Amino acid sequence: MDILVVLEDNRGSLHRMSKEAIVGAQQLGGSISALAIGDNADALASELSGFDLEEVITVKHDLVSSYNADGYAMVVQKVFESESPKTILAGHTYQTRDFMPRVSAKIDAPFIPDIISIDDGLTKQILNAKLNATVSSSNEQMILSFQSAAFSEESIKPGFCSSRSFDVSLDSSQVRAESEDPFQEAAGGVDLESADLIVSIGRGIEKEENISLAFDLAEALGAEVSASRPVVDSGWVEPFRQVGSSGQNVSPKLYFALGISGAIQHVVGMKGSKNIIAINKDPDAPIFEIADYAVVGDVLEIVPKLIEKLQS
Q: Are 58 and 42 spatial neighbours (Cβ–Cβ below 8 Å)?
A: yes
| Residues 14-43, interacting with other proteins (CB under 8 A) | 16
For the CB of residue 45, give the shortest distance to other proteins in the complex, in Å: 23
* Distance in angstroms between the alpha carbons of the first and the last residue of the chain: 44
56: buried, middle or exposed (CB in 10 Å: 19+, 13-18, 0-12)? Answer: buried
Which amino acid is it at 1? M
Which helix (H) or strand (E) element contains residue 28? helix 16-28
Candidates 160, 181, 188, 209; binder of other proteins (CB under 8 A) is 181
CA-based R_g, the chain, Å = 23
Of 199, 206, 197, nearest to 278 (Cα)?
Answer: 199
User: Is there binding between residue 128 and other proteins (CB under 8 A)?
Assistant: yes
User: Is there binding between residue 154 and other proteins (CB under 8 A)?
Assistant: yes
Q: Are 50 and 159 spatial neighbours (Cβ–Cβ below 8 Å)?
A: yes
Task: Say which residues have a Cβ less than 8 Å from residue 167's Cβ, sequence separation at least 6.
Answer: 59
| Residues 220-249, interacting with other proteins (CB under 8 A) | 221-222, 229-230, 232-234, 239-240, 242, 245-248
| Residues 94-113, interacting with other proteins (CB under 8 A) | 94, 97-102, 104-106, 108-113
> In the complex with other proteins, which residue's Cβ is closer, 169 or 173?
173
Binding part of the chain for other proteins, among 21-29, 42-50, 80-88, 144-152 by CB under 8 A, reads 144-152
> In the complex with other proteins, which residue's Cβ is closer, 56 or 116?
116
Which amino acid is it at 138? S
For the CB of residue 80, give the shortest distance to other proteins in the complex, in Å: 14
User: Is there binding between residue 177 and other proteins (CB under 8 A)?
Assistant: yes
Q: Are 73 and 143 spatial neighbours (Cβ–Cβ below 8 Å)?
A: no
The site for other proteins, by CB under 8 A, has a size of 101
> In the complex with other proteins, which residue's Cβ is closer, 83 or 301?
301
For the CB of residue 164, give the shortest distance to other proteins in the complex, in Å: 28
Binding part of the chain for other proteins, among 22-30, 46-54, 64-72, 162-170 by CB under 8 A, reads 64-72
User: Is there binding between residue 65 and other proteins (CB under 8 A)?
Assistant: no
Q: How many residues does the chain have?
A: 312
